[in-house]
Amino acid sequence: MSEALHYHFDVDGANFSNAGRASVETKKLLRQIGVPAETIRRIAVAMYEGEINMVIHAHGGDADVYITEDKILIQLRDEGPGIRSVEEAMKEGFSTAPENIRALGFGAGMGLPNMKRYSDDMHIDTKVGVGTTIELWYNL
């Protein structure tokens, strides 16, 4: 298969209760394809974290899923404030989430570390004031 199977989702930043919809849809698609259960679980957890981050910090964005014979790429793109220090953000417990979000039980500072843990490879491309693109890679 030369061309990747591609799905696009809008991540709605205005509606917190919708957060997670893209990862739920992605999970369904991966199951239909027959992706191994453990890979689906890791993608579901990491992508959900990413979606929540986009809603909390960046008023939403785009999620794109590319599937080929041997790899899956989840690309999460936003035009939010950007990450000042990726090194800091990768530390467990580091969070810049506002108080009202923390009150909801989010913003524990586990987002990025969890995404790395639940992916085979992660790339972060971020620029303060411009936005952030995170790529989560999985081998099949």
The binding site for other proteins (CB under 8 A) comprises: 1, 3, 5-7, 20, 23-24, 27, 29, 31-35, 37-38, 40-41, 44-45, 48, 52, 67-69, 105, 140
CB of 138 to other proteins, least distance (A): 13
- Tokens 């739920």 identify what position? 24
CB of 93 to other proteins, least distance (A): 17
- Do strands 5-12 and 131-139 pair parallel, antiparallel, or not at all (unpaired)? unpaired
Residue 32 bridge partners (DSSP): none
Centre a 10 Å sphere on the Cβ of residue 5 and count the other Cβ atoms it contains.
13
Helices marked H in the chain: 21-33, 37-58, 86-89, 99-102, 111-117
Three-class secondary structure of residue 132 per DSSP? strand
- Do strands 121-127 and 131-139 pair parallel, antiparallel, or not at all (unpaired)? antiparallel
In the complex with other proteins, which residue's Cβ is closer, 52 or 134? 52
CB of 49 to other proteins, least distance (A): 9
CB of 18 to other proteins, least distance (A): 12
In the complex with other proteins, which residue's Cβ is closer, 52 or 58? 52
In the complex with other proteins, which residue's Cβ is closer, 32 or 139? 32
In the complex with other proteins, which residue's Cβ is closer, 39 or 125? 39
